[in-house]
Structure 1
Amino acid sequence: MGMYFFLIICTLCRVMYDLPCLEVDSCLLFTLQVKAVAEEMGIGFIGIGFQPKWERKDIPIMPKGRYEIMRNYMPKVGSLGLDMMFRTCTVQVNLDFSSEADMIRKFRAGLALQPIATALFANSPFTEGKPNGYLSMRSQIWTDTDNNRAGMLPFVFDDSFGFEQYVEYALDVPMYFVYRKKKYIDCAGLSFRDFLAGKLAPLPGEYPTLNDWENHLTTIFPEVRLKRYLEMRGADGGPWRRLCALPAFWVGILYDDISLQNVLDMTADWTEGERQMLRNKVPVTGLKTPFRDGLLKHVAEDVLQFAKDGLERRGYKETGFLNEVAEVVRTGLTPAEKILDLYHGKWGQTVDPVFEELLY
């Protein structure tokens, strides 16, 4: 069978306004090239959200300075940060915005719907060879990694929200490091505001560069992250067909004015408590999570239709990429529940077949 390495490549599908939303040929070519090289070495890649078999101590450590700083700091601010670093895999979609107002609308829609994306792509039900009680263990881990830099960001829904408010938030997220002379300097827990004032203890009298700020923004991990684009961060890693479905889902919603407005209208009266409840419960109950007078599945049905309609209006014949999530919505069964059924049935309560089932 060879040796299978856990897939730790986060696929970032950068979608441009003036191009078809899915550069599938390029992405497929890259995947095939990586696979060809890996197969000669007896290495395979699986698409899953959490390492299904290995213990944390079995995971090789990437010899990178910033990771050493993070590895030392994580246990001080949460109980699951090291699991996030070593055993989780997400797939992110990066989406452009045209103005501050456009960013605000997309940020709010993306954040409100992120638990639905988590449910649709939930794919991490195993830990160390056994079911772990979650459909998305990866998502659950983020609830106790470092809550100063993760979460649902309630202030995004404030009337005053904009670029300035996000900057104020980011300034108060504790630092990890500063990069100088090809070395990472440990600044874990220190304040970027102090850095702006020239009062950062490891670098007294020195002021940050734009590159320092950009590096700092990469150490913030909310469910949707703002940089020069918006990152949708709620989905577990998955097999090839789901890599195509995820950007199609978000593009159909956020790149079409009608669908985007439909989502904003639908979620306008969702309370902070309801959004957080969905964030907390979806990793366990997926689309079966109770919401108001029904289940999250019923909300997902409407959202999926918005995505389909948005893709149709774009005119690039992309709706077929949603077939994978359409089946999840129709049945109410997440990918995690399907492989759990295999585990309890055909697989004879062993996770080993997952390395073939989800192999790229």
Structure 2
Amino acid sequence: MAVLEDDRPLTLDDLTAYFASGGKPKSKWKVGAEHEKFVFRLAGHGPVEYEGEAGIKALLEGLMEFGWKAVTETRPDGGETLIALNRGGGNISLEPGGQFELSGAPLETMHDICQETGQHLQEVKSVADRLGLGFLGLGFHPTMRREDAPMMPKGRYKIMRRYMPLVGNLGLDMMFRTCTVQANLDFLDEADMVAKFRMSLALQPIATALFANSPFTEGKPNGFLSARANVWTDTDPDRTGLLDFVFEDGFDFERYARWALDVPMYFVKREGLYVDVAGQSFRQFMEGGLPGFQGQRPSIKDWADHTTTLFPEVRLKTYLEMRGADGGPWSRLCALPALWTGLFYDDAALAAAWDLCKHWTAEERHALRNDVPRLGLKAVVAGRTAQDVAKDMVAIAHEGLQRRARLDGGFIDESTYLGELHAIADSGLTPADRLLELYRGPWQGDVNRAFLECAY
């Protein structure tokens, strides 16, 4: 992270330099994979509170048997709360409603990522079995009501829970009832960041369609294929969406910093505690006039914290974060990072992927984003179906991974992880379409069957 050499106030150049500091030579490019999953009680399929002999805290403590180290957060009373674990560059953390997240270490290949993910799932299952808990791979909780969701004891979540209803209707659903799978990828320099940001932001709705996996709410079909994606359309317009300015001439690190500077803050962290400043301006903080912090100015760590509260479909930190996909089964947890690695880390693939979408207008991009949650691969953009674009997108990624030629012990390259995405694109049916077929057929209208057939 960029560090100031003195105590001078931050400038826009400092904020910009924070993003630019992520640039890496190709030889050092890696991939970080993240996925969330719902925790449920095997008896009755109910949600899981933090405390208790078989609660989320007990699950975290059980995982420490495998060498995971505790990460705690200071409470206002001076005590410490176990909120996460870390080991070897990876982290296990808690989303607001107890969703269990693996944020993997930056790794070289998809083979490494799949090994890491598989080991994680084996470890959590061994602990969960003792506690009578299970894990569900869907993008939106299929049965739990919002008011029944537990809340994890993290300081920032209390602030977000208060603020979310002030700026959108579905922010609390985002917090408590959604799960995603994500990938974090590197860039060479500013020009490379711009090319990757534009391509991935335009194509993010296609990834949403390929991974759409959340057709149920409170025990019945909700009218969406990705209810998770729909939630983001009414969460907080200040910090979400497709960021039209990314496609404008002159887009660069500074332009993103200027946008982030004016996104309202959630909190300031001081002495381990989160101070609620939700809705206030980071710009005002930089000028020394933030209410409650008059005369104080932010550090680059405050800026880094603030950037984690921005939620566009693609997010820039010191890397690019792909945020468009629903959580799902083990087989698709490796497919998401494989898809974007194939497009990002091969020059010909990056150019070919941009050719798919570079002529789309802002209106067409927004229409696609708005249609995909309901229509999935049947949505249309610039005269083509999302299915047709998805076929091309997956094929380009496949070729990019083949050219990367990162082989496992059996001399198989990373394109093997795209098999399920090829099948989805070829069929035109999203995973959610398949779930709805089960609901209307073998499940006989019983969404609780998901806790058996969509569990890890």
The question of a shared fold, defined as TM-score above 0.5 by the shorter chain, is answered with yes
Kept in 1, the 8 Å contact 2:268–2:275? The answer is yes
Structure 1 residues 223 and 11, CA gap change in structure 2 (3 angstroms): farther
Query: Which among 43, 54, 58 is matched to residue 2 of structure 1?
Result: 43
1:1-360 matches, cutoff 5 A: 1-2=42-43, 4=45, 8-12=99-103, 16=107, 19-23=108-112, 24-316=114-406, 317-360=413-456
Is contact 1:11-1:92 (8 Å) kept? no
| Paired residue type of 1:82 | L
TM-score, normalization by structure 2: 0.77
Q: Distance in 2 between matches of 1:72 and 1:136?
A: 26
Q: Is the 8 A contact 1:13 1:93 kept in 2?
A: no
How far off its partner does 1:299 sit?
1.0
Comparing both chains, which one has the higher relative contact order based on Cα–Cα distances under 8 Å and sequence gaps of 6 or more? 1
CA distance in 2, matches of 1:314, 1:197: 47
Partner Cα distance (1:26, 1:306) in 2: 26
Unaligned runs of 5+ in 1: none
For residues 74-119 of structure 1, give each alpha carbon's deviation from its aligned partner in whole angstroms, at most 9, with x where no partner exists: 0110000111111011111000111111111111111011000000
Equivalent pairs counted in the alignment come to 358
Q: Displacement of 1:9 after TM fit?
A: 3.0
Per-residue deviation, residues 132-178 of structure 1 (Å, max 9, x unmatched): 00000000000000010000001111111010000000001000000
The alignment partner of 1:92 has SS state of strand
Query: Aligned partner of 2:100: which letter?
Result: I
In structure 2, the gaps of 5 or more residues are 1-41, 49-97, 407-412
Letter of the 1:101 partner, please give it.
A
* Whole-Å separation in 1 of the counterparts to 2:367 and 2:352: 22
Contact 1:49/1:89 (8 A) holds in 2: yes
Q: Which structure has greater helix proportion? A: 1
**Distance in 1, Cα, partners of 2:204 & 2:236:** 19
Query: Aligned Cα RMSD in Å?
Result: 1.3
C-alpha distance in 2, partners of 1:295/1:110?
A: 18
Q: Which amino acid aligns with 1:336?
A: A
Q: Deviation per CA, 1:295-336: give whole Å up to 9, x if none.
A: 111111111110110011011201111011111101000000
Aligned sequence identity (%): 53
By how many angstroms is 1:13 displaced?
5.1
Scaled by the length of structure 1, what TM-score is found? 0.97
Q: Closer, same or farther in 2 for the Cα pair 1:200/1:355, shift >3 Å?
A: same
Contact 1:13–1:92 (CA<8 Å) still a contact in 2? Answer: no
